Structure 1
Amino acid sequence: MKKAVVVTGAAGCIGSEIVSTFSQQEYFVIGIDKNEITNNHANLKIQYDLVKLTKDPLELQRFYETITQHLDHHDVALTCLINNAAVQILEPLDQIDLENFYLSFDCNVVVPLCLTRTLLPQLAGAKGVVINIGSIHARQTKPAFVSYATSKSALAGLTRAMAVDLAGRVRVTCIEPAAIKTEMLLEGFGGDLEMLESLKKHHPTGTIGNPEEVAEFCYFLAESKTPFLNGESIALDGGIGCRLHDPA
């Protein structure tokens, strides 16, 4: 039976690359995003705000029925869920809007929990894999990243806890990228290529990452080449997490 993967945040740079990579490897790809998905490698595109799943059990039931109907109709087995969708809201601690803090947790932590629990019958039936896309901010962060860093730290904890609870049924891992060359990152530099080059030099590799690397790593994990790997959050950071940034 053909393998299927669900990819959230499929309209973004990283999500779109994950969609393309799995499609090229003959997966049936279900892409989900609140924005329009333009990548035609997705076999099924669902435009939907996943945060709704955290508010209403009926939404969860309808979502489950939609996904399972498509899996049955296309005669495919769900072997992988990639929780890639995320929201990044930057506010210093003394200016945090609690609604934004709650939204960060809903999108970055509660949605992955809901999706994993809801799709567990299919994933467990296929001895599948859940891949959470975390962030370097789970370990090291910067000013104004309170909501984002806290939610990504929680996602790392969720990864470990789910791996334990789902022992023998589903493996769960987390990829924690640092700077990845996406439109969002480039826009943040406002066209200042000098600053971008400076960022590259801060990484021991002398580069920043690209979406293709994240996608290939996801595919490697999905294919169970290392079945003993479980519950881990793995840095994909060009070595920047190893480097001290003190004045000396």
Structure 2
Amino acid sequence: MQHTRIHKKWALVTGALGGIGQALVKEFADEGYHVIATDIKVSNDKIDNVYFLQLDLEKFVVNELYATEFYQKVKEITNGTGISSLVNNAAIQILADTSSLTREQWNTSFNVNLSAPFFMSQLFLDDLTTNIGSIVNISSIHATQTKKEFVAYATTKAALSSMTRNMVLDIGSKIRINAIEPAAIATEMLKAGFDGKEEQYKKLEMFHPLGRVGTPTEVAKLAVFLSSESAGFVQGACISASGGIQGCLSDPS
């Protein structure tokens, strides 16, 4: 059966101003997509075929009118055709011990990292179905392996990966939905955290069997592939992009 292809493909990327987000925007644009880039921060950058919309994901989750207004803005930008690829990339990482984590920190983590991807997917479900589109959720290695003080972040990512698998049962063959679970990625934020700690950064690299951390571009290229027809039989997958660290034990030996 031949599907009618839409003339202009639109991708929507959340968290577009972060390290991985910027790479996602660039890769989708380079692949011929027109990109709607959203972030809570404001951007005045002018990039060909990229349209920036400021978006507060917590407000998006709790305020249905705000979400509806956002949908209408996207409809206007796309001239009514809607998006064919949704990349739920935005996340917040609040570090706190179980004994001190506040209700506000817990709820913010779940609103941004889990509820926003769900309601964003729900909001664009009809458009994505019409355009034979796909959803890519940027999860994390923390969905399965984590460390101290990551209880809120890791729990949201585990739930996001689970949601990816479970939504397939509802959406069936309408659209595809998959997740990427990256390990350490060399974003500016990660590198800033190791400023003046070169030995510790080298140790982090060596923890990965590949001998290095990943790049934002590698995550972005995988997202573009998962959004493409070449990944047509990939459905409900949570794909590790971990440089092999996912199989490692941190033994003292």
**TM-score bin (small chain):** over 0.9
C-alpha contact 2:75 2:82 (8 A) present in aligned 1: no
State percent identity of aligned pairs: 38
Q: Taking structure 2 as the reference length, what is the TM-score of the superposition?
A: 0.94
Tell me the residue number matched to 2:172.
Answer: 167
Residue 45 of structure 2 is aligned to residue 71 of structure 1: no
Aligned residues: 246
Question: What does the per-residue CA deviation read over 1:42-69, in whole Å, with 9 as the maximum and x for residues that have no partner?
Answer: 5210112121111111112111111112
Q: SS at the partner of 1:32?
A: strand
Measured after TM superposition, the shift of residue 191 of structure 1 is 2.4
The residue type paired with residue 160 of structure 1 is R
Tell me the residue number matched to 1:14.
Answer: 20
Residue 142 of structure 2 is aligned to residue 137 of structure 1: yes
C-alpha contact 1:7 1:31 (8 A) present in aligned 2: yes
Measured after TM superposition, the shift of residue 224 of structure 1 is 2.4
The residue type paired with residue 42 of structure 2 is E
User: Structure 1 residues 63-72 or 108-117, which shifts more?
Assistant: 63-72
Q: Aligned partners of 1:40 and 1:129: how far apart in 2?
A: 26
Question: What does the per-residue CA deviation read over 1:154-190, in whole Å, with 9 as the maximum and x for residues that have no partner?
Answer: 1011101112211111110000000000111112223
Paired residue for 1:56, among 31, 52, 63?
63
Q: SS at the partner of 2:200?
A: helix
4+ long deviations beyond 6 Å:
none
Residue 195 of structure 2 is aligned to residue 210 of structure 1: no
Q: Taking structure 1 as the reference length, what is the TM-score of the superposition?
A: 0.96
Tell me the residue number matched to 1:31.
Answer: 37
Q: SS at the partner of 2:12?
A: strand
Q: Aligned partners of 2:44 and 2:79: how far apart in 1?
A: 25
C-alpha contact 1:83 1:131 (8 A) present in aligned 2: yes
Q: Map 1:86-235 onto structure 2 (within 5 A).
A: 86-235=91-240
The residue type paired with residue 187 of structure 2 is T
Q: Aligned partners of 2:12 and 2:45: how far apart in 1?
A: 14
Q: Aligned partners of 1:48 and 1:232: how far apart in 2?
A: 27
Tell me the residue number matched to 2:11.
Answer: 5
Measured after TM superposition, the shift of residue 101 of structure 1 is 0.6
Question: What does the per-residue CA deviation read over 1:91-150, in whole Å, with 9 as the maximum and x for residues that have no partner?
Answer: 011110111111000000000011100011110101110000000000000100010000
